[in-house]
Chain A
């Protein structure tokens, strides 16, 4: 225990000395606030229309029921707007409505704009349409932003831990540790502690900023603690393979892209193909964090077990390899 606390205190001291604590606290706050500002924009993923002054005011007002409307004073300006990289159709009037398109829009968009113009021009629907609501007031974008930030915090904490190990290798402090009474288990736990604490601080801070205080606190703490094993795994992987910071960044890039990509891919993969992701610890970590943020606990137990088992299992596999490489007892 003394040896573990020695390593932990060493990391904490250097974090305070190097102002790392400041960056740890400020960066997720800034990031979370940026996400909060962008969320409403992303949530309103409707259409934008561009019109010129040949379109009547009544038409323009009605068109606003279907999306944003940008107004231009001439057909030339309207055409310039349509030709910008984004897909904004132009509408002008000359005995009938002309829908101006660049030519690279999707078929769905082309048809949809026609449908909208048709409806607005006629002023009424072809058939009686009733709208019912399930009264779910918020989209999931806030929850997904929180999940992304928690996972980012966990991985970031792991990367910092990994670079601390690389630092010890570069300065040969690891050799000094290897001839000290510190054992491999002490080293793993001591190093892992800082990773866990950073993950917890960052994860909780970002969750509060994005989701507010209406959180399942106990479950969230448990989930972050268990999920932090993924960050620790990444950190040890980095520290094990890289001999200096330059190779550390190279390995970090090679590791992070597949980790992040598989999470994104699993989101879009149909249920019948989800089994492809089952051997991956990051997949289960994502599911676990999603459970607690969405407060959907149907599969919580299995997600918790798999997250712990896969991350801890891989750490156990790594353990003898690290012991040999770092020459710890």
Chain B
């Protein structure tokens, strides 16, 4: 049995190498490393921009932001006149205007924003007024942190789980599917049916190879961006399990299509659905219950926890969930491969 698996692995590995898969994995991982290290900034404002017109006596708002060393962050957001403010608002559909006067603040909204977001802005304006000293009131709250405060993760490194999820979880299922389509087209499947190899060997070889490529990708990305600052064992286990699951899923779904041209449309739909949780990852305050059931959601947050530990314990639970998913998917996949592809070859 082991010999059959190794032989099949060698064969599939040769096909992958001959078609440049290894170079693609190396190239893509280096591309992301360059992005993280040299292209993506450490900070970027992803929420709507506020343009501010300070009409207070003595420009107290400008002075306040200078005093707290926030002037650099506010570059380009202070305007001199109302006309300039309106021009900026008309030019940027994702912006808001705030006019500070001695006894009044005017918020100029685009019109489509929901009231909750405007009220949040108003609450933050209250705070600025307090800090400037234009108003005072006692504080009725205190903070309690359930875990230790962690350092803010720079944006470029924060995106590493997104890149991993994209490459491993979303695109991973393409490779296994296309290898199967290629073999169908060439007639290799027909030859395999009369060979000593079995359904399990056929499945395991392709899935394992794709999984190992995903792990290699994950290692290169992590080593050259974060070094050895986290637990590589946990990291490898999670990537291995996720890649295994996605590869099985990719093979299973592709079995219901005749060729790559049909499959690619469905694969695109799956890709788009898998990418929705990226919004929840980039905006963690966006709480959408159904996102949690999309496979890429736990992938990103679990990998984030491994790379930037906060002491959360969910890694073991997620690994168990993955193992259950892998078991169910592989049983289904085995049956379908056996019936549809290998025609009940044992």
Contacts and interface: CB of A to CB of B under 8 A. Distances in A.
Interface of A: 18-20, 23-24, 26-27, 30-31, 34-35, 38, 41-48, 65-68, 79, 82-83, 85-88, 96-107, 109-112, 114-119, 121-122, 125-140, 152, 156, 159-160, 163-164, 170, 243-251, 253-254, 257-258, 261, 265, 268
Interface centre among A18, A83, A111, A258 (most CB of B within 10 A): A83
A88 B285 contact: yes
Contact of B111 (A134, A170, A244): A134
Q: Which 5 A-B pairs have the closest CB atoms?
A: A27-B265, A87-B284, A85-B301, A126-B135, A247-B19
A109 B47 CA distance: 12
B57 interface: no
B261 A163 contact: yes
Contacts of A114: 127, 141, 143
Given A98-B142, A110-B143, A135-B111, A140 B94 contact: yes
A317 B39 CA distance: 29
Interface string B295-328: 0011001001100101010100000000000000
A24 B126 contact: no
A98 B144 contact: yes
A140 B93 contact: yes
A112 B126 contact: no
Contacts of A18: 258-259, 261-262
Interface in B146-165: 146-150, 152
B212 to A, nearest CB: 16
Contact of B284 (A85, A246, A253): A85
Given A45-B286, A65-B119, A127-B104, A100 B146 contact: yes
B112 A136 contact: yes
A251 B19 CA distance: 9
B301 A126 contact: no
B174 A249 contact: yes
Given A20-B262, A106-B152, 14 more contacts: A20-B261, A23-B261, A27-B268, A31-B268, A45-B117, A86-B280, A86-B287, A96-B140, A111-B124, A126-B135, A130-B107, A133-B108, A152-B268, A160-B264
Interface in B60-111: 89-90, 93-94, 103-111
B125 A129 contact: yes
A43 B116 CA distance: 12
Contact of B262 (A23, A45, A100, A127): A23
21 contacts: A18-B262, A19-B258, A35-B272, A47-B116, A47-B285, A86-B284, A88-B285, A96-B141, A97-B140, A102-B145, A104-B150, A118-B127, A122-B137, A126-B135, A127-B103, A134-B89, A140-B93, A163-B261, A246-B16, A246-B19, A250-B21
A33 B80 CA distance: 44
Contacts of A249: 174-175, 178, 260
B272 to A, nearest CB: 6
Interface residues of B, number: 98
B24 A103 contact: no
Contact of A139 (B105, B113, B134, B178): B113
Interface centre among A68, A127, A136, A138 (most CB of B within 10 A): A127
Contacts, number: 270
Interface stretch (B27-35, B196-204, B227-235, B337-345): B27-35
Interface centre among A82, A139, A243 (most CB of B within 10 A): A139
Nearest to B314: A85
Nearest to A83: B146
A85 B254 CA distance: 32
Interface of B: 15-16, 19-21, 23-24, 27-28, 31, 35, 39, 44, 46, 89-90, 93-94, 103-120, 122-127, 129-130, 134-135, 137, 139-150, 152, 171, 174-175, 178-179, 181-182, 185, 258-262, 264-266, 268-269, 272-273, 276, 279-280, 283-288, 297-298, 301, 304-305, 308, 310, 312, 314
B107 A132 contact: yes
Nearest to B100: A127
B268 A99 contact: no
A112 B124 contact: yes
A308 to B, nearest CB: 26
A132 B265 CA distance: 45
A127 B175 contact: no
Nearest to A46: B116
Interface centre among A24, A31, A86, A125 (most CB of B within 10 A): A86
Given A116-B123, A129-B107, A101 B93 contact: no
B287 A136 contact: no
B141 A97 contact: yes
Contact of A125 (B24, B122, B283): B122
A20 B149 CA distance: 54
Contact of A121 (B20, B93, B140): B140
B77 to A, nearest CB: 12
Contacts of A86: 280, 284-287
A154 to B, nearest CB: 13
Contact of A245 (B126, B260, B286): B260
Contact of A102 (B39, B147, B266, B276): B147
A119 B123 contact: yes
Nearest to A66: B119
Contact of B107 (A96, A131, A245, A251): A131
B178 A131 contact: no
Contacts of A102: 145-147, 310
A34 B298 CA distance: 21
A38 B290 CA distance: 10
Given A30-B269, A127-B105, A99 B123 contact: no
Interface centre among A87, A109, A249 (most CB of B within 10 A): A249
Contact of B279 (A30, A42, A135): A42
A118 B261 contact: no
